[in-house]
Structure 1
Amino acid sequence: MKITITHLSTVSILFSLAAAWIPGEHREILARDGENLFKRSVPISDSISNNSSLPSVSKVRCANLGSLYIIEPWMVAKSWESMGCGSTGSEFDCVKLLGQQRANEVFANHWSTFITQSDIQRMRSYGLNTIRIPLGYWIYEDLVDRGTEYFPQGGLAYLEKVCGWASDEGIYIILDLHGAPGAQQPYVSFTGQLSPKNFYNDNNYERALRFLEWAANLVHTNDNFRNVGMLEVVNEPATVSSQAESLRTEYYPQAFQRIRDAETKLQIQPNKYLHVQMMDKRWGSGDPNQALNDTSYAAYDSHTYLMFSNTPVDKDTYIKTSCNDDRSGNQPTIVGEFSMGVPQKFTSTQEWTSKNPNNTEFYQKWFAALISKYEKQLGWCFWSWKTELGDYRWSYDEAVQAGVIPMDVNTALQMDVCAAYT
């Protein structure tokens, strides 16, 4: 999520598969309809004694675990301050400030308290069938240059626990390389380091590729990761032509090959391959398929934040724009990030603030409009599950508790908000 520590700033803005994995089931169980991944009723994992099930769904319905393994200070300012990170703007800077030992302690406390098993259970109770987990490459600690890079240690044990909880609940998991070696975007906290974008070179590509190999091995050999079905190879990469071309022609083909080579070495059958996810061509980095010889089990990610567009800030216009938002491009596409945030200058005004109960109906309708379009594609992942902003426009959990997002998401779709706008 491309937002600065101080204020929200500008963000740039599955398909011919024979079989694919279904959220809510172990990866080994295959969909019978490659065009509609999640057509069947989705039983919860065999480990659930009551054999309950999620509603019958055909789409990804998902929340991001933002600021769990890559903390973005703008989202969790109170925690950031209590950790002793002060005015630092990234994990790199906080660890450098605190020193490795103290940093390891405060980050471990964050990992163990920010998202708990009850959060995962509540997601399931809300009908969510998927989680997207943003990760920094440094969670694979062998990749970190301890002489020049400063990142917390010990995160893998907590990631294993969260994925185990989600797998037990039958929730599908997307692991997202959100913070790449060298930073894929300049001076943004979601990369874990406030630095120029130095990802686009052989050395850092190689480190990212090693991360993907490691992750593929982890998923296929550790039972806690059994419901991971997708690896996103880099979040929100550069859109500058030379770097984007390098991404498309060098990094993406190698990422596919290294993941498939890792699976081949483990003798994984093709029908159990991980999906490999890239930002779709609407992102601005060009067509991710340009240099790919085989797009089997490829998937695509589209991010959309209306607040960063030039859309007139008017409630009716916002709903109309969302109802007519065509997210089609590369297929299959998941809208991996979106929120109900509005431009900073309007966010606290009476007409727009989430504190004004008179605005509740608008946000109910807007959410319904958003997901009705995203479910024309493969589905969606809200940014984020939890924040410390006190603002349901950025917190799925708070939005449900406020009655803005219904516990049964189908209720929002049944509103048919877009009928009057399309």
Structure 2
Amino acid sequence: MQLLIPLLSLLAFSTTTAADVPSKIYGVNLGSWLVLEPWMLPNEWKSMGGQSCSDCSKCIASEFALAAAFPNDVDQRFAKHWSTWFTEHDVDHLQQLGINTVRIPLGYWIVEPLVNRETEHYPRGGIKFLTSGLDMLRKAGIRVILDHHALPGVQVADQMFTGHCTNNVQFFTSYNYGRALTWTAVMTFLTQLHPNYESVFSIEAVNEPQMDAEKTPGLDEFEKDFVRTVRAMECLIGVNVPGCSLGGTPDATNLSKRLREAAKTNPSGWFTSTVVKALEKSLPMLKFIEHELNWVVNFNAGGQRPLITTNFMDIIWQFNGPTNPAAAAIGPQAYDHHLIYSIAGVALPNPTSYLQDVCNREDVQQLESFGNTPFWYGEWTLSTQFSATDDFLKKWADAQKLKYSESAGWIFLNFKLEAGSPFARQWSYFEGVKLGFFTKDPTQFNDPNVCVPYRTSTPKRDHAFRRDH
């Protein structure tokens, strides 16, 4: 695999303005909450009216398909799921286990006005549950990454996690890039101004786009526009963004005027025509969300919060000449590395190969060479291509935690799976703690010397892989 290394742009201001990122991330994904993946909870999915099939595009195996099949009461079906899959009991459990960070997968449809209801089918009402869940996490002192997990037009074919199982991938178009930027503007506004979002420190632009960079035209410019949109919205609403000042005090009545003035003067070069268009489209959507949340915006809050850390999949995710997301950075930025060993090609399918591979990885050195730091392992599991014993899984958990802690930290996939799921043993953090694979304190290990017998003189650098079921 040949990787192209573009020249990195100079940071526009010091990283001392970075958001309050935990000194070391010990986290879990809140998967299947606001982007439901039926394989994680097959019985509940069936009770909701869903189906299971070998090709998820051929049956009711995604949120899109369920909403299309049950248009009259799909909102009620999902409201029940949202209220029960992630609860205060789960937050208490995460706190007890020392988890300090969660990554929340979100679909673009959580910003409901973005959805074309004539051709796109998704449930309504998720923004209320996100906002309520963030309040629980804030009170528990758990930090949050908002992950744009399912993009308009879908970013990869035939995956449940995109919300729509289809081989018609249309995200990489100017229309859907624009919708994603408007989503970004809305989530930036909420993160900086809504009190429940105080624990959010990062927003991720795109989860797991197609891996072949030749099939993602315009992604490099979208990445730059994503960062510009975050910084421009922060500037617009009165966040202290070095190098960008619009003067005066923002309020609900003058945002449009402030944006028009910014479009004329283009402070710091962030208010490009593409970004201004995304911000313009976001303003009426903000009114909709304020009404939905029964929220009176306090613009003074914007001056009290740190800048959002923009977040991208790292350069290693793609092949065939990917651009370097580090070139998009304006201020605090971080990178997301995914590594799922149960996908063929990472290591040979046996315990020794797995342990040798992970114990000799040089992901930190590799990503540092591309300027993709800080980074964290945003998705990893205990899954294997072979039948794993409990003794091996205890070693496997320790070895991965040891290596991944060399980075900014790790975020396990997933916090839980449905009780009785055949995948729970190796994909559920709660189950892994219960079975003793994970220590109850995430900073500790069953065997801190687990890697000693497996270290070699040959470092391992390669590609990351996504999950498939």
- 1:392, CA displacement in angstroms? 2.1
- 1:295, CA displacement in angstroms? 4.0
For 1:216, the aligned partner's letter is: T
1:226 counterpart (192, 198, 218): 198
Superposition misfits of 4+ residues, deviation over 6 angstroms: none
1:376 counterpart (378, 384, 406): 406
1:299 paired with 2:264, answer: no
Distance in 2 (CA, whole Å) between partners of 1:239 and 1:79 is 31
DSSP 3-state at the match of 2:206: coil
**Identity of counterpart residues, as a percentage?**
32
Distance in 1 (CA, whole Å) between partners of 2:213 and 2:129 is 38
DSSP 3-state at the match of 1:63: strand
Q: Deviations over 1:279-309 (max 9, x none)?
A: 00110162433652x4421110010011113
* Paired residue total: 360
Query: 2:164 maps to what in 1?
Result: 193
Distance in 2 (CA, whole Å) between partners of 1:287 and 1:397 is 37
CA RMSD of aligned residues (A): 1.7
1:312 paired with 2:342, answer: no
Query: 1:283 maps to what in 2?
Result: 317
Do the aligned residues in 2 keep the contact of 1:392 with 1:398 (CA within 8 Å)?
Answer: yes
1:143 paired with 2:179, answer: no
Distance in 2 (CA, whole Å) between partners of 1:86 and 1:159 is 26
Output the TM-score relative to the length of structure 2. Answer: 0.74
For 2:402, the aligned partner's letter is: S
- The higher-RCO structure (CA 8 Å, 6+ apart) is 2
> Which range moved further: 140-149 or 412-421?
412-421
Distance in 2 (CA, whole Å) between partners of 1:408 and 1:414 is 13
For 1:199, the aligned partner's letter is: F
For 1:144, the aligned partner's letter is: V
For 1:325, the aligned partner's letter is: R
- 1:75, CA displacement in angstroms? 1.2
- 1:106, CA displacement in angstroms? 0.8
1:337 counterpart (363, 370, 379): 379
| Aligned pairs for 1:387-398 within 5 A | 387-388=417-418, 389-390=421-422, 391-398=424-431
Distance in 1 (CA, whole Å) between partners of 2:100 and 2:446 is 16
Do the aligned residues in 1 keep the contact of 2:17 with 2:307 (CA within 8 Å)?
Answer: no
Distance in 1 (CA, whole Å) between partners of 2:326 and 2:408 is 22
Query: 2:33 maps to what in 1?
Result: 68
Query: 2:144 maps to what in 1?
Result: 173
Output the TM-score relative to the length of structure 1. Answer: 0.82
Query: 2:306 maps to what in 1?
Result: 272
Query: 1:11 maps to what in 2?
Result: none
DSSP 3-state at the match of 1:145: coil
1:21 counterpart (14, 19, 22): 19
Do the aligned residues in 1 keep the contact of 2:19 with 2:332 (CA within 8 Å)?
Answer: no
Do the aligned residues in 1 keep the contact of 2:107 with 2:151 (CA within 8 Å)?
Answer: yes
For 2:18, the aligned partner's letter is: A
For 1:265, the aligned partner's letter is: L
Q: Deviations over 1:57-82 (max 9, x none)?
A: xx111000011111111111111001
Question: Normalized per residue, which structure has more helix?
Answer: 2
Distance in 1 (CA, whole Å) between partners of 2:407 and 2:323 is 18
DSSP 3-state at the match of 1:119: helix
Q: Residues 118 and 325 of structure 1: is their aligned pair in 2 closer, same or farther, counting only changes over 3 Å?
A: same
For 1:277, the aligned partner's letter is: N
2:46 counterpart (72, 75, 81): 81
Do the aligned residues in 1 keep the contact of 2:67 with 2:121 (CA within 8 Å)?
Answer: yes
Do the aligned residues in 2 keep the contact of 1:70 with 1:136 (CA within 8 Å)?
Answer: yes
| Aligned pairs for 1:92-241 within 5 A | 92-99=64-71, 101-195=72-166, 196-241=168-213
Q: Residues 414 and 263 of structure 1: is their aligned pair in 2 closer, same or farther, counting only changes over 3 Å?
A: farther
Distance in 2 (CA, whole Å) between partners of 1:80 and 1:417 is 39
Distance in 2 (CA, whole Å) between partners of 1:367 and 1:409 is 11
- 1:119, CA displacement in angstroms? 0.4
Structure with the greater alpha carbon radius of gyration: 2
For 1:322, the aligned partner's letter is: V
DSSP 3-state at the match of 1:306: coil
Distance in 2 (CA, whole Å) between partners of 1:148 and 1:127 is 43
Query: 1:406 maps to what in 2?
Result: 439
Do the aligned residues in 2 keep the contact of 1:252 with 1:288 (CA within 8 Å)?
Answer: no
For 1:184, the aligned partner's letter is: Q
Q: Residues 200 and 368 of structure 1: is their aligned pair in 2 closer, same or farther, counting only changes over 3 Å?
A: same
Distance in 1 (CA, whole Å) between partners of 2:395 and 2:211 is 33
Distance in 2 (CA, whole Å) between partners of 1:377 and 1:244 is 28
Query: 1:26 maps to what in 2?
Result: none
Distance in 2 (CA, whole Å) between partners of 1:403 and 1:275 is 34
Distance in 1 (CA, whole Å) between partners of 2:51 and 2:332 is 43
Q: Deviations over 1:180-207 (max 9, x none)?
A: 0000001111000012210001100000
Distance in 1 (CA, whole Å) between partners of 2:330 and 2:318 is 19
Distance in 1 (CA, whole Å) between partners of 2:126 and 2:324 is 30
Do the aligned residues in 2 keep the contact of 1:66 with 1:384 (CA within 8 Å)?
Answer: yes
> Which range moved further: 371-380 or 383-392?
383-392
Do the aligned residues in 1 keep the contact of 2:213 with 2:318 (CA within 8 Å)?
Answer: no
Query: 2:357 maps to what in 1?
Result: 321
Query: 2:233 maps to what in 1?
Result: 262
For 1:369, the aligned partner's letter is: A
Distance in 2 (CA, whole Å) between partners of 1:378 and 1:291 is 20
Distance in 1 (CA, whole Å) between partners of 2:363 and 2:44 is 35
Task: Give unmatched runs, 5+ long, in structure 1.
Answer: 1-14, 24-36, 39-58, 353-358
